[in-house]
Amino acid sequence: MADTITDFSNPLRRSVLQDPTAGQADANDAFSLDLTAFWLLIKRNIKVLIAAVLVALLLAIVATLLTTRVYEATSTIRFEPNEAQTIQIGTQGASIGAGSSFDRQAQTQNDLVESRSMAKLVYDHARLNRNPAFLEAIGFGNSALDGGERPSPQMIEARAIDFLGSHITAESETGTELTKIRFKSSSPQLAAVLANAYADAAVQQDLQHKFDSSSYARVFLTKQLKLARDRLEQSEMALNAYIAQHGLIAVQTSAEGQGGATTVISNLANSATTANEATNQRIAAQQAWEAAQNVPLMSVPQVIAAPTVQGMRAQLAAARAKLQQDRATYGDAHPAVTMDQEIVASLNTAMQAAAKEVMNGLRTQYETAQRQEQALLGRVSDLKGDAVNEGRLGVRSGILKRDVETNRSLYDALLQRQKEVSASAGINKSSVSVVDKAMVPAKPISPNLWLNLAVGLFAGLFAGLLIVLIKSQIDQRLRSPTDFSDATGLPVLGIIPKLGDGMTVAEELANPRSALSEAYFSTRTHIALSRPGGLPKTLLVTSSRESEGKSSTTYALARSIAKMGARVLIIDADLRRPSAHVFHAQVTNKLGLSELLTRNAELEAVVRHTGVDNLDIIPSGTIPPSPTELLAHSAFDAVLALAASRYDVVLVDGPPILGMADALLLASKVEAVVFVAEAERVTRSSVRHALSRLATAKPDVLGVIIGKFDAGEANEYYYYSSSYSYSSDKA
């Protein structure tokens, strides 16, 4: 046996033999699949996926057929939001309405439509307790109408309200004042009736709400008005009592008869105002008189503005114009000219007299204003003394007067608002109106066959994928070369196709163009290239368990190597269940390795020719009582060394690894080992366990040969499953 047991520097040798946890991450990660692996998994389980989808679609169809048809009727109402109603009292207000944005009011209206109070209103006004279709819908059809155990009205009403509330929806349309009221029922006629009943009830409820709000406002205003009237009476009584006690006489200062100042204060105010006016008039008259004395008579503004003077001035201008005209016409000596001169002189004299009268009037006006001013100032001085005495009493009187005025203003405002509310109570306009009545729906909204089929399709796909993924995790069988590489960490040396029915290994190997021959030829090449020295001198072929194809693989490899001209020897070292001899019709198992190891025969006596050039075999011989002891004996080492000296390649057909130590002993005695595993049979755990046991012998495991591989089952395409093949010979 060579000393080269395992070349750990070769990347192809890194496997579970070195690291028992190699590839474990992939084994434990249930969903760490790349797209290719996932696609292969789907193709391998396509029947499961199709079955899941078909079952889901069938269930969807059955559910559609069994589901009660539901009809939806829709009525449309318009909701016009109201502004907040406020009782204005002077600068104060008491809100009795809900001021909010349109969206908030619209949502409130929708909630009211879906409320239990609305359901109660619909139930009462539509007389649903006498509607057979409705009673049938809530489960009280026959028992409620045709005798039997009749439910109580309270029971019918409670169930009816629950039914109505669970089947009604109200939804506002964005950007509009419209609200859709939808009612669902198994009866299309009932759905339309109830949708319309809800629309009518919404209008009625809004009117009732407005009436109730007005009633509340009237009651509220009546109470506030009584309180205001009582406060006004009390304040007036207090003011009158105080005035009577101190002898104060109030003067009326407004048309409404509201109380004013006392007589003294009123007279003082009037006198002071009159005195101020007199002073202003005296100052104006004095200024006018003094200004008139400092200018020529005919330049005084008042004289110029006097109508008499202005008239005479106009006459004088006309007379002078006539004088000039007559003088130019007749000359200075003419009588007409003389008369014109007299007229001009007369008018000039009269105008001077009128101007003097204006000046006299200015003096008289000044003197009169001066006298009036003196008299009024004296009157004001006298009243001031009286007002000082009366002022002490007026402070308290003023406070009482302000109380009276405040209470009167509040009372008048409340009285006016009560009149307005009372006047508008009977003319409230509903903010809800019916736009469209609900029509009887022609077709149901559910069940929707196409929707159910779509849901069934996706549910089936999901369930199918879930089943496939769970199945892939539960089913740990290795199928593809990728599975074997991931599980073992070893290179795949060959992929041996599964034979069809009626085909034998010997027949297929006899045909050099068969897929089986090509597969083993490729495997032999991979083995030769897997190590620097080419084919090992001694090579053990083993598997995890029996019937995985190790004996046929041993025979096929030996045959392929022998065809290349090398002398090959097969040693059947499976001393428990030997099968290597069955591939050679002329070879019996009566004398073999057992007799050679127990020295009951020589090497030449147990070597049999197989009928294939350059290929001999040592059968296992008689099954010994203790195969492990025979294989562990040094005699086997001697036999192996002798065989290696006479043959180019010695292939040892070993027993399975699991359950016995025979394969481990053989692995420690040969140069290299190949591991045969049957696709679709071995599991990840069994292969890893077998290789872990094999690692204790520290062999040089070249790789894995996958046996009985069905490309169709694995859904992977390799050279033997492609369309490439030998062409037929033609003459």
CB-based contacts of 400, cutoff 8 Å, min separation 6: 235, 238, 239, 242
* More confident: 277 or 95: 277
Q: How far apart are CA 201 and CA 146, in angstroms?
A: 30
The CA dihedral of 515, 521, 522, 525, to the nearest 10 degrees, is 180
Residue 458 banded pLDDT, cuts 50, 70, 90: very high
Best mean pLDDT range from 274-278, 451-455, 579-583: 451-455
Structural domain count, the chain: 3
**Using 50, 70 and 90 to split pLDDT, how confident is the model at 627?**
confident
pLDDT score for 251: 52
Same domain, 554 and 699: yes
By DSSP bridging, strand 649-653 and strand 568-572 are: parallel
Banded model confidence at residue 541, pLDDT cuts 50, 70, 90: very high
Q: What is the mean pLDDT of residues 14-34?
A: 48
Quick check: is 105 in a domain? Answer: yes
Read off the pLDDT band of 547 (50, 70, 90): confident
pLDDT of 649 higher than 90? yes
Query: Given pLDDT bands bounded at 50, 70 and 90, which one contains residue 426?
Result: low
Q: Read off the CATH number of the domain in which 557 is found.
A: 3.40.50.300
Positive or negative: CA dihedral 100, 103, 109, 111: negative
482 and 493 in a common domain = no
Residues 657, 530 share a domain: yes
Give the pLDDT confidence score for residue 299 in this predicted structure: 64
Rounded Cα distance between 113 and 95, Å, is 25
Tokens for 243? 């005035």
Same domain, 58 and 135: no
pLDDT average, residue stretch 136-154? 69
**What would you measure as the largest C-alpha separation in the chain, in angstroms?**
205
Both tokens of 216, joined, read: 């509340």
Residues 705 and 583 in one domain: yes
Q: Where are the beta strands (DSSP E) in 90-186?
A: 92-95, 168-172, 178-185
What's at 229, amino acid-wise?
A: R
Separation of alpha carbons 35 and 13, rounded Å:
27
424: phi then psi, degrees, rounded to nearest 5: -90, -5
574 and 521 assigned to the same domain = yes
Q: Which tokens belong to 174? A: 């964005």
54: helix, strand or coil: helix
Q: Which of 168-177, 231-240, 484-493 has the lowest mean pLDDT?
A: 231-240
Going by C-alpha positions, the residue among 433, 429, 431, 435 that lies closest to residue 81 is 431
- The mean pLDDT of the chain is 78
For residue 15, is pLDDT > 60? no
Check residue 728 and give its pLDDT: 44
- Would the CA dihedral through 379, 381, 387, 389 be positive or negative? negative
Neighbours of 533 (CB within 10 A): 11
Is 596 found in the same domain as 538?
yes
Phi, psi of 266 (to 5 degrees): -65, -45
Q: Does residue 723 lie in a domain region?
A: no
Structural domain includes residue 380: no
Q: Looking at the predicted structure, is the pLDDT value of residue 646 above 90? A: yes
Res 6: pLDDT: 35
- Give me the pLDDT at residue 570, please: 92
Whether 241 maps to a domain, the answer reads: no
Mean pLDDT confidence for 668-690: 87
Q: How far apart are CA 56 and CA 63, in angstroms?
A: 10
One domain for residues 562 and 684:
yes
Residue 49 domain flag? yes
Look at 482 and 393; give whichever has higher pLDDT: 482
179 and 49 belong to one structural domain: no
Within a domain: 562: yes
Q: With 80 as the cut, is the pLDDT of residue 23 above it?
A: no
Confidence at residue 237, expressed as pLDDT on a 0 to 100 scale = 84
- Residue 119 counted as domain residue: yes
Contact 541, 674 (CB under 8 A): yes
What confidence score (pLDDT) does residue 40 get? 74
Cα distances (angstroms) measured from residue 391 to each of 248, 400, 479: 11, 14, 120
Closest to 488 (Cα-Cα) out of 5, 27, 6, 8: 27
Q: Which residue has the higher pLDDT, 446 or 705?
A: 705
- Computed on alpha carbons and rounded to an integer, the radius of gyration of the chain in Å comes to 64
More confident residue, 491 or 206: 491
Residue 718 has pLDDT above 50, yes or no: no
Within 8 A by CB and 6+ apart from 129, the residues are 123, 135, 153, 156, 157, 160
Handedness of CA 102, 103, 104, 110 (dihedral sign): positive
pLDDT at position 566: 92
Q: Are 435 and 38 in contact (CB under 8 A)?
A: no
In this predicted structure, the answer to whether residue 727 has a pLDDT above a threshold of 70 is no
The pLDDT of residue 25 is: 44
Q: Can you tell me the mean pLDDT for 258-267? A: 63
* Residues pairing with 477 in the sheet: 683
Q: Which of 184-198, 282-296, 717-731 has the lowest mean pLDDT?
A: 717-731
- β-sheet bridge partners, residue 436: 76
- Looking at the structure, tell me whether residues 581 and 706 fall in a common domain: yes
Encoding tokens for residue 583? 């591939």
End-to-end CA distance of the chain: 52
**163 in the same domain as 79:** yes
Query: CA separation (Å) from 580 to 127, 576, 702?
Result: 95, 12, 22
- Shared domain for 518 and 608, answered yes or no, is yes
Under a CB-based contact definition with an 8 Å cutoff, are residues 264 and 390 in contact?
Answer: yes
Q: Measured on CA atoms in the order 264, 266, 272, 278, is the torsion positive or negative?
A: negative
**Residue 27: Cβ within 10 Å count:** 16
pLDDT tens-digit series, residues 71-108: 889 999 888 776 544 444 444 444 444 445 667 877 88
What's residue 588's pLDDT?
A: 78
Token pair 């669902």 in the structure block, residue: 184
The mean pLDDT value for 630-648 works out to 90
Query: Which residue, 391, 398, 360, 467, is CA-closest to 56?
Result: 467
Which one has a higher pLDDT value, 93 or 247? 247
Q: What residues have CB less than 8 Å from 134, skipping those under 6 apart? A: 128, 160, 190, 194
Q: Is 201 exposed, middle or buried (0-12, 13-18, 19+ CB in 10 A)?
A: buried
The pLDDT, as a whole number, for residue 469 is 84
Residues 195-214 pLDDT 10s: 898 888 888 888 877 777 76
Q: Does the structure show a pLDDT above 90 at 568?
A: yes
Average pLDDT rounded to a whole number, residues 158-167? 88
| pLDDT in the model for residue 720 | 41
d(CA 350, CA 362): 19
Burial 579-608, CB ≥16 within 10 A → b, else e: bbbebbeebebebbbbbbbeeebeeeebbb
Give the residue, 559 or 347, on which the prediction is more confident: 559
Q: Strand, coil or helix: what is 271?
A: helix
HEC-encoded secondary structure of 293-336 = HCCCHHHCHHHHHCHHHHHHHHHHHHHHHHHHHHHHHHCCCCHH
Please check whether residue 298 lies inside any domain of the structure. no
Residues in Cβ contact with 658 at an 8 Å cutoff, skipping those fewer than 6 apart: 544, 545, 686, 689, 690, 693
Asked if the model's pLDDT at residue 12 lies above 60, the reply is no
Domain of residue 95: give its range.
71-211+432-436
- Report yes or no: 71 and 444 within 8 Å, Cβ to Cβ: yes
- A 10 A CB-CB count for 429 gives 11
Q: Which range, of 57-61, 93-97, 312-316, averages the lowest pLDDT?
A: 93-97
Summarised one tens digit per residue, pLDDT across range 405-417 is 888 888 788 777 7
> In this model, does residue 337 exceed pLDDT 90?
no
Q: Torsion-angle region of residue 534: left (phi > 0), alpha (psi -120 to 50) or beta? A: left
> Residue 42 and residue 48: Cα distance in Å, rounded?
9
Q: How many residues does the chain have?
A: 731
Beta bridge partners of 701: 673
How far apart CA 343 and CA 323 sit, in angstroms, is: 9
